[in-house]
Structure 1
Amino acid sequence: MSTIEPVFRIIPTTQNYDWGKKGSDSKVAEFASGAGIPGFSLNESAPYAELWMGTHVKSPSGVVDKEQNLAQILTMNPSLIGDRVSQRFDTTNGNLPFLFKVLAIGKALSIQTHPDKKTSEQLHAQQPKVYTDPNHKPEMALALTDFKALCGFMPIPRIAEYVKDVPEFNALIDPSTVTEFLNCTHSSELEQKAVLKKFFSELMTADVTKIATQLQTLVARYRSGGQKHAEEGIKDLVLTLNEQYPGDVGVFCAFMLNYVRMTPGQAIFLGAGEPHAYVQGDIMECMANSDNVIRAGLTPKPKDIPNLVSVLTYMASDWDKHMVKPVDVTPRTRKYDPPIPDFTVLQVHTPKGETESHEAIQGPSIAIATEGSGRVSWGGGDLDLQAGSVIFVGAETKIDITAGDSNLVVYRAYVAA
């Protein structure tokens, strides 16, 4: 029998990575200020990159007024996770299937991908200090502000235009591979994937001195106004990435990956083996409970180009293939449901003074208030909410979300059997 209320406050943790937005410009810092994190004091010169809400072993959330962290509380009270979810997922030691985050991106994250479950297990066994868990990491990014990202390979014909028009780009690739790539636009999908893999591999393993030289030439051409029409939409991105990571091969990925500019409320899903790099903005991010990242560019951290090249799907398409289109469950609650069972996210807009009711969900959930104030109530009590408040909701618990004297916005991540 549970020894704790089915709804309770949890204490998120912050990650101060170099790419985070600084001080009060960061949504992470804003929410951390309202989350009741013991000892938290805003430092305007510090980067606040991520707010973690969950049970990941690297940085599990605390529980207000409890000595135990969230994973320990769930271990002691397994009914909060629910039998059906525990039967479907590995919830050993109170492990939730998902990890919920806020990201505040001031400069680009690495060119990266995430391994599938089998590859994660292999990498964790081989390099446990780099790949810290054996789980996969499909993830969804939901824009809180205007958001920019590189996301999946562009369609082959569009990459081919850059190959033809950007000499500094194609100079990094063997001429025979360039010819092969330009001739593959009408080949079968399987053949195109093979050629794309060969081309991308040559780019990512090009000589570093040659990369730096070609980037200097490209940047000089752009700054003198020498860009071609096809480069207009990518010029500023290239200049920005090169300022942040001078001479890095990842800058040239701007000519191969879709450049996505999203508005608040839009979302993308990235499954295993999809290359991406978040560039700028604040997002809600939900993923399977993992921190495994294979990096290949735009980062001072260790790169693992061989593994990244080997695990990519090499699916080339427009970026809308990765979009997650929300469904209106009610006029106030929108559901973002990616094509995996590990998590779903609800976006709840409750007008001033009104109440939105959520029927019981079979599994556990974590919710964060991002705007306004109000309260959450259930059969046994209620808790006040303000921007940054984070709560855990146990399985099979009906809740009411009531806005106070302003509109209340809440994001709720959950898993259901």
Structure 2
Amino acid sequence: MTQPAVYRLQAKTQSYDWGKLGNVSKVARYAQQSGDAVDPSKPYAELWMGTHPNAPSVVMDDAHTPLRDLIHKYPELSTQTLYDQYSGDLPFLFKILSIRKALSIQAHPDKTLGARLFKEFPNNYKDPNHKPEMAIALTPFEALCGFRPLEEIARHLERYPELTELIGADVADSFLSTIQQQESNVEQNKAVLKSVFSALMHSPQESVTAQLSKLTDRLRDTEDPMAELVLRLDQQYSGGDIGIFSVLLLNYVTMEPGQAMFLGANEPHAYLSGDCVECMAASDNVVRAGLTPKFKDVNVLVEMLTYRYGSAESQKMTPQSFGSHSLLYDPPIDEFSVALTSLKTEETEEHKPIPGPSILIVTSGSGSLKAQGSTFDLKEGYVYFVGADVVLSAEAGESGLEFYRAFTVPT
């Protein structure tokens, strides 16, 4: 390739209420490296890396060339197959998230539902794409993800009578009797789980407010992780938010740095706290139902979910080797994979050519990157776009080096 294939990018930040404030936020610290001034009172929630029109990355050249324009001018940076398939855009959106308080309980539609929602409700759903996503923890991280094992939900119905009061005794009894039957099958279990979630989500607001008040009053003298979580969310979202009861039905997942989870289409989830690397299909479609003042589409959410259930640990991914010092997080979709490279002082790692475009961000340490006979500085917060079919060689400095690289290969 005669055209240079490595370009340093300026990525844009997004300020949402749930973001960490000022320099406490990794998003803000990383953005500072490309010239952004940091306001200590402003929440810095997300750093977007890619071609998504809501916050497109630009090349750090004299013209501040939008990354999308660069790829349009040189389609070979993406490969012609991917360029044609995604109309010159990157198939993925790469992000850093810094979370101070819980995000909304939500799910993302699959392609069929995404297309229908975009057609019928374009004011609420901005594109027809699906939005599978993956989160890799940078710091200790908390989330809700997927429905708990049915036995745990049954115990919660007994332990938290306020939940039973909301969904109704008939729904609770039907759920308990069904899952206790030896002859019940997965589809029957999913059906009664759906009835529980639907009854909860459709509870009248006055009932939610009253039962939540009873629950939080009762838990104030209780020392256990569930009580702490319920009380913390109640402080963050006062006014009787239905999403607080959802923690009794959804898995509470904790991750240490380097651990990851994949969130497929039509699966309920909510990030609660921490910093993470996130990668997703290039969409911004979200169906919300709690822990938010934003538009809630309860009927769509209840109908779209798969109602799969299982343990918190089952939500986590197992990375594969991607070299001597690298791990590969490879979810079961076409749009993206993510590699994590971790080097100690003066260690090196070579990435073989990837037949598709990629973006990398340095999350800690420093070092250098060699490609096509040129050398590029690597420092915390630096972001680079790398064209297809390029050999990369990274070397760590005195403080070591860690970077994440999101990429797509043609199928």
Task: State the SS of the aligned residue for 2:101.
Answer: coil
- Number of residue pairs matched by the alignment: 405
The answer (yes or no) to whether the contact 2:253–2:313 under 8 Å persists in 1 is no
Q: Which among 105, 126, 150 is matched to residue 111 of structure 1?
A: 105
Report what 2:22 is aligned to: 23
Report what 1:205 is aligned to: 202
Report what 2:49 is aligned to: 53
Q: State the alpha-carbon separation in 2 of the partners of residues 310 and 380 from structure 1.
A: 54
The answer (yes or no) to whether the contact 1:85–1:362 under 8 Å persists in 2 is no
CA RMSD, Structure 1 to Structure 2 (Å)? 1.3
Q: Which among 387, 390, 406 is matched to residue 413 of structure 1?
A: 406
Report what 1:280 is aligned to: 273
Identity within the alignment, % = 46
Report what 1:237 is aligned to: 229
Q: In structure 2, what residue type is equivalent to 1:238?
A: V
Q: Which among 72, 77, 82 is matched to residue 79 of structure 2?
A: 82
Q: State the alpha-carbon separation in 2 of the partners of residues 145 and 406 from structure 1.
A: 18
Q: State the alpha-carbon separation in 2 of the partners of residues 372 and 402 from structure 1.
A: 11
Taking a change above 3 Å as real, the CA distance of residues 323 and 380 of structure 1, as seen in their structure-2 partners, is: same
Taking a change above 3 Å as real, the CA distance of residues 72 and 129 of structure 1, as seen in their structure-2 partners, is: farther
Q: Which among 125, 140, 149 is matched to residue 134 of structure 2?
A: 140
Residue 367 in structure 1 maps to residue 360 in structure 2: yes
Give the unaligned 5+ runs of structure 1.
none
Give the unaligned 5+ runs of structure 2.
none
Task: State the SS of the aligned residue for 1:372.
Answer: strand
Q: State the alpha-carbon separation in 2 of the partners of residues 388 and 128 from structure 1.
A: 35
Report what 1:295 is aligned to: 288
Residue 70 in structure 1 maps to residue 70 in structure 2: no
Q: State the alpha-carbon separation in 2 of the partners of residues 67 and 241 from structure 1.
A: 41
The answer (yes or no) to whether the contact 1:21–1:49 under 8 Å persists in 2 is yes
Q: In structure 1, what residue type is equivalent to 2:47?
A: L
Residue 217 in structure 1 maps to residue 209 in structure 2: no
Q: CA deviation at 1:174?
A: 2.2
Report what 2:311 is aligned to: 318
Matches within 5 A, 1:142-157: 142-157=136-151
TM-score by length of 1: 0.95
Q: CA deviation at 1:320?
A: 2.6
Q: Which among 185, 193, 197 is matched to residue 196 of structure 1?
A: 193
1:330-364, Cα deviation, whole Å (9 max, x unpaired): 23111111111211110001222232111100000
Q: State the alpha-carbon separation in 2 of the partners of residues 334 and 224 from structure 1.
A: 44
Q: State the alpha-carbon separation in 2 of the partners of residues 243 and 83 from structure 1.
A: 51
Task: State the SS of the aligned residue for 2:23.
Answer: helix
The answer (yes or no) to whether the contact 1:168–1:214 under 8 Å persists in 2 is yes
Task: State the SS of the aligned residue for 1:171.
Answer: helix
Q: State the alpha-carbon separation in 2 of the partners of residues 141 and 199 from structure 1.
A: 28
Q: CA deviation at 1:249?
A: 0.4
The answer (yes or no) to whether the contact 1:84–1:363 under 8 Å persists in 2 is no
Q: CA deviation at 1:67?
A: 3.8
TM-score by length of 2: 0.96
The answer (yes or no) to whether the contact 1:364–1:394 under 8 Å persists in 2 is yes
The answer (yes or no) to whether the contact 2:348–2:396 under 8 Å persists in 1 is yes
The answer (yes or no) to whether the contact 2:5–2:390 under 8 Å persists in 1 is yes
Report what 2:9 is aligned to: 10
Report what 2:166 is aligned to: 172
Q: State the alpha-carbon separation in 1 of the partners of residues 45 and 64 from structure 2.
A: 26
Matches within 5 A, 1:349-360: 349-360=342-353
Stretches of 4+ aligned residues off by more than 4 angstroms: none
Range moving further from structure 2, 212-221 or 118-127 = 118-127
Task: State the SS of the aligned residue for 2:213.
Answer: helix
The answer (yes or no) to whether the contact 1:84–1:362 under 8 Å persists in 2 is no
Q: State the alpha-carbon separation in 1 of the partners of residues 260 and 41 from structure 2.
A: 30
Q: In structure 2, what residue type is equivalent to 1:18?
A: D
The answer (yes or no) to whether the contact 1:5–1:380 under 8 Å persists in 2 is no
Q: State the alpha-carbon separation in 2 of the partners of residues 378 and 32 from structure 1.
A: 24
Q: State the alpha-carbon separation in 2 of the partners of residues 13 and 62 from structure 1.
A: 9
Range moving further from structure 2, 379-388 or 273-282 = 379-388
Range moving further from structure 2, 254-263 or 398-407 = 398-407
Residue 91 in structure 1 maps to residue 86 in structure 2: yes
Q: CA deviation at 1:128?
A: 1.9
Report what 1:400 is aligned to: 393
